[in-house]
Amino acid sequence: MAKRFKPAIFRTLGICASLLAGIVSPSAGAAEQWFEAFKASADDRDLYRFLYALPKGGDLHNHLTGSNFSEWWYQLATNKKLNGGYEYYTRVRIDNCAGYGHDMFGMAPYLMYFRNLQASSYQALSDCEKGEYKKIDALDPGEKTAWMNSLRLDKKHEGREEFFQTHWQRLNDLGRNPYINAEMLVKNMQAFAREGLSYLETMEGTRFYTRPDGSAFTPDEVADIFRKRLAQSDAVATGVTARMQYYLLRFIGNAEEDLEWIYRFVNKNRDLFVGINMVGREDNDKGYPLRFLPTLRKLRRDIPGIPLAIHAGEVDEPNHHVRDTLLLGASRIGHGVNLISDPDTMLLMRNSDYLVEINLISNLLLDYVDDYSQHPFPEYLRMGIPVALSTDDRGMWDSNMTDEYFVAVKEFNLSWEELTSLARNSLQHSFADDETKRALLQDYETRLEQFKKRFQRHGSAALDDVVPRSHGFICKHYKLCEFSTPVMAAN
């Protein structure tokens, strides 16, 4: 008798647990029906407005310097009051000068327009090289447009190589100003708040920052600059909770030493940094995951565990990097595109505490999929692997979080339960402390219920006052251009 009734008891307990967790409600069927009816009748414009207004959770896979729109870069590069008093120059011509500089990612190509230098770096150039550069605030309209386009993927032929090998090298000194990056963090919080997000977990570091005279900030000084900016009233007013992951460039020669330093720094600054992330091209074999296993095991002997969210599976070839990343101790996988080729690891991740951070726009623009019919996202979602949408380097894609949601709903016909699970997952799998996480989840459920009741009461008329701010991606790829406006200082 016990065996016969055990499955029924387990099913009942499972339903009760789901109700308590807020994942299923007695009106779930009704919610499904109204959303399905809306999808069936809505055009792309209404669907986008709906998704822009929809309460969302967090962005867990966000590179800070890659998330800033070109217009923001221009504003801060030319506004000394906001950028800490720096002055910037950019290369506008090539005069075949013999020398060229270096940056933290290695030697930059000489034949590269719009490489950015702060005044102290510019003054160190030869006279020939100085003739190649122009103050950014002195660019003519054509040069200004070209400069802004140089920091985003705006042409069909641009893809992976343009992104990995030129964008970061062009930014150069702009990315080494802590005041600019702290200001950019708040700009991202303000923009995400308008889209209904409540949490941001961005990737950044505290080293390699320089003062206007070229001398170095200490890591502690940079951390305090971020803390001070996040405490200001306009940042607090966004309602967005911001935390940081410290990035490790995985393929450099001394990456193990870097990991040790980062691990100890994060341990001392857990109020600001909640995790560590290994970044960099996975097709550079020097960054293979198991390289770091001995170092992590040594660190975990003496230091309380630090959450890991590591890029894995962002590569064309089938391999076991996702599995190996889990062995490192990661609880979140960034991208995970080739996880689909590793069925054993997929089975391991089903109904688990491991999350895959899905970056739909990034994977398309960097050619990891040719079109969305090849993307494994719906397979992961519908076989029970926890997933959440994220924006990756949205400034360079010229996109936002609503674009990610729009692609997901339009290309994969998400149900209401699937759609809302993405936001819940992003909060449940965040690295925020338990108290913060509970508050974020409660706030999300409250906002979601209010949104649902308003829409069910008023239908599409509930969207009449919704004015989305979209960007280049959704216009170019879906011809939805009426919401696209330049991202200016007001953003």
The predicted structure's pLDDT at residue 99: 54
Q: How far apart are CA 463 and CA 47, in angstroms?
A: 10
The predicted structure's pLDDT at residue 156: 86
Region 162-178 average pLDDT? 95
Give the number of domains in the chain. 2
Q: How far apart are CA 15 and CA 12, in angstroms?
A: 5
Inter-CA distances, 220 with 209, 224, 225, 466, Å: 11, 6, 9, 42
Contact 271, 242 (CB under 8 A): no
Q: Looking at the structure, do residues 360 and 446 belong to the same domain, yes or no? A: yes
Q: Looking at the structure, do residues 108 and 205 belong to the same domain, yes or no? A: no
Per-residue pLDDT reduced to its tens digit, 91-107: 999 999 875 544 444 45
Q: How far apart are CA 306 and CA 407, in angstroms?
A: 33
pLDDT band for 110, please (50, 70, 90 cuts). confident
Say yes or no to pLDDT of 190 above 80. yes
The predicted structure's pLDDT at residue 248: 98
Q: Looking at the structure, do residues 292 and 321 belong to the same domain, yes or no? A: yes
**Domain presence at residue 75:** no
Contact 148, 71 (CB under 8 A): yes
Per-residue pLDDT reduced to its tens digit, 69-90: 999 999 999 999 999 999 999 9
The predicted structure's pLDDT at residue 105: 43
Q: Which of 112, 137, 170 is the last residue of a domain?
A: 170
Residue with tokens 């997952």: 425
Say yes or no to pLDDT of 25 above 80. no
Q: Looking at the structure, do residues 92 and 188 belong to the same domain, yes or no? A: no
Region 160-184 average pLDDT? 95
Per-residue pLDDT reduced to its tens digit, 37-73: 999 999 999 999 999 999 999 999 999 999 999 999 9
**Domain presence at residue 456:** no
Helix (H) or strand (E) holding 369: none
Cα 72 versus chain centre, distance? 17
Q: How far apart are CA 265 and CA 358, in angstroms?
A: 28
Residue 414 region by backbone torsions, left for phi larger than 0, else alpha for psi between -120 and 50, else beta: beta
**Domain presence at residue 367:** yes
Residue 69 DSSP class:
-
The rounded mean pLDDT for the chain is 91
Q: Which amino acid is at 238?
A: T
Helix (H) or strand (E) holding 200: strand 199-203
**Residue of higher predicted confidence among 388 and 488:** 388
**Domain presence at residue 464:** no
Q: Looking at the structure, do residues 54 and 203 belong to the same domain, yes or no? A: yes
Q: Looking at the structure, do residues 333 and 196 belong to the same domain, yes or no? A: yes
Say yes or no to pLDDT of 8 above 60. no
CATH of the domain at 273: 3.20.20.140
Per-residue pLDDT reduced to its tens digit, 193-223: 999 999 999 999 999 999 999 999 999 999 9
**Domain presence at residue 42:** no
Say yes or no to pLDDT of 383 above 70. yes
Predicted TM-score of the model (pTM): 0.91
Its domain, for residue 111, covers 87-170
**Domain presence at residue 460:** no
Region 317-338 average pLDDT? 97
Cβ count near 379 (within 10 Å): 13
Region 132-157 average pLDDT? 96
**Domain presence at residue 6:** no
Q: Looking at the structure, do residues 285 and 241 belong to the same domain, yes or no? A: yes
Q: Looking at the structure, do residues 197 and 117 belong to the same domain, yes or no? A: no
